[in-house]
Amino acid sequence: MSRNPLPSRTDSPNFRVYHEQVDLRTKERVQFIDLTELVAERVIRSGITHGTVQIQTRHTTAAIVINENEPLLIQDLQELLELWAPADVDYRHDDFGSRKSPFTMDERVNGDAHARAILLGCSKSLNVVDGRIDLGRWQRIFLVELDGARKRYTSIVVMGVTDERASRRESPAEFEHAPLRGVS
């Protein structure tokens, strides 16, 4: 009854690393930008069939998150960010007069954004199987802007093997009754 893909073990001389940086200009202070199609396109461009894709924001007040793209849920998350790291609290980081480290002329009051970015994380990595991101039905990839509007740089690395012919499906005992499925 299992509709699982069989386990696969791919040896290949064709190991590849694909890198691309994608720039986006955000519009709101807090904004969820769905990058799923953009990342999926880079996985296809990479030609990599089995491996991983890592999406990394190069900022300390933005994050990468995987979850459902449902507009009301996104509104919930904006409220949850207030619970997790309130905007109306005095963060020491925003007391520019006390700062010893250099700060730029366009420094913003953004202690909340740093705290939220730490909670959500700046990079996420997902499995790549049969040439596609191994996302579940509802999973989507978001760049989360926490201190916009800004220009944001997202670094994408796809890493793995490219030679489908070198792929071979295994059929260990526990899978022997499952229908065979070729590498698509």
Segment 114 to 133, residues that bind a second copy, using CB under 8 A: 114-115, 117-129
Binding to a second copy in span 56-95, by CB under 8 A: 56-60, 65-73, 75-77, 80, 84-85, 91-93, 95
Asked if 58 and 67 count as a contact pair (C-beta separation under 8 A), the reply is no
* 150 part of the interface to a second copy, by CB under 8 A: no
Smallest gap from Cβ 64 to a second copy, in A, equals 10
Closer residue to a second copy, CB minimum distance, 29 or 69: 69
Q: Which is nearer to a second copy, 22 or 29 (CB)?
A: 22
Which residue(s) pair with 34 in the sheet? 142
**Closest to a second copy by CB, 136 or 182:** 136
Q: How far is the CB of 152 from a second copy (least distance, A)?
A: 9
Q: Residues 6 or more apart from 3 whose CB is under 8 A from it?
A: 178, 179
For residues 138-177, b (16+ Cβ closer than 10 Å) or e, as one string? eebbbbbbbbbebebebebbbbbbbbbeebeeeeeeeeee
Asked if residue 144 lies in contact with residue 123, where contact means CB atoms within 8 angstroms, the answer is no
Q: Which of residues 23-62 bind a second copy (CB under 8 A)?
A: 23, 42, 45-47, 50-52, 54, 56-60
Kindly state whether residue 184 participates in binding a second copy, applying the rule CB under 8 A.
no
Sign, Cα dihedral of 113, 114, 117, 119: negative
Residue 176 as a binder of a second copy (CB under 8 A): the answer is: no
Cβ atoms within 10 Å of 38's Cβ, excluding its own: 17
Min separation Cβ 123 and a second copy, Å = 6
CB of 29 to a second copy, least distance (A): 18
Distance in Å, CB of 184 to a second copy, minimum: 13
Q: Is 7 in the site for a second copy (CB under 8 A)?
A: yes
